[in-house]
Amino acid sequence: MRRLVIFPLIIGMAACGGGSSATGGPGSPPPVPVPVPSPTATPNPYAEACGTPLPPPEFAYGFGIKVQLEPTRNKKILNGSPSIRNLAYCEAAGFSNTLICNTRKEDNPQRVPCDHYFSGMSDQGRPGPNWFQDFGYPGGSERLVKCGDPDTTCRLKPEDQYLLDIHEVGRYVACAGVGGAGAGTCGDCIILTMEQSPGSLGGLCKHS
């Protein structure tokens, strides 16, 4: 009689255990993974405002720099503009038979956003290039120090990141900022005299 009493109890326990393993045993199908939606890319507002054609990163040619103004004998204002080196792009942007050109002509309302798209964000948090004074020039290895640092004599224009005040001869460099189509490219301007020019300002800016 003891065997008859115990035997059904064991069978019942086995049946109970078997029922609980039916949904999670070795033969059960793996759980279906829940798809995670990909984050939506944030559109670049400068790219949208620039329109077509966009300055192509593969043809980025740094910055063309010129002397914009000479307010006083010991002060010049440099102007850095993004440059593209591609005949087809320049033609589409309105520059006929030109290999190296700006992003747009100056009177084109797309010029500013196109320049911003190329230049990216400067270290000051404004669209436009980062500016440097080369303390290795002349005769030494390049040693760039950010304009505005205490050791430099160049100063950023608060109203426009593309302009720079300089107060002594030397080499000045503009480089594209973070996230720009021209990232990694630079342009330079070498000033040999602080004397005011009687003629064209463009001739004052030499390039290495």
Distance, in Å, from the CA atom of 149 to the CA atom of 161, rounded to the nearest integer, reads 15
According to DSSP, the β-strands at 75-85 and 160-166 are antiparallel
Distances (CA, A) of 86 to 46, 54, 64, 177, 186: 21, 12, 15, 21, 17
The helix (H) or strand (E) run that includes residue 64 is strand 60-72
> Per the structure block, which two tokens stand in for 46?
């400068």
Distance, in Å, from the CA atom of 84 to the CA atom of 62, rounded to the nearest integer, reads 8
The answer to whether 98 and 90 have CB atoms below 8 angstroms apart is yes
Q: Domain residue spans in the chain?
A: 45-204
Per-residue model confidence (pLDDT) at position 24? 52
The answer to whether 104 and 114 have CB atoms below 8 angstroms apart is yes
Per-residue model confidence (pLDDT) at position 34? 67
Confidence of residue 41 (pLDDT cuts 50, 70, 90): low
> Per the structure block, which two tokens stand in for 44?
């670049």
**Mean predicted confidence (pLDDT) in 24-40:** 63
**Mean predicted confidence (pLDDT) in 186-204:** 90
* Percentage with pLDDT > 90 across the chain: 74
The answer to whether 113 and 95 have CB atoms below 8 angstroms apart is no
pLDDT top residue among 7 and 173:
173
- For the chain, what is the mean pLDDT? 87
Whose structure tokens read 């000033």?
191
62 forms beta bridges with none
96 forms beta bridges with none
Distance, in Å, from the CA atom of 51 to the CA atom of 181, rounded to the nearest integer, reads 14
Where b means 16+ CB within 10 Å and e means fewer, 15-47 reads: eeeeeeeeeeeeeeeeeeeeeeeeeeeeebebe
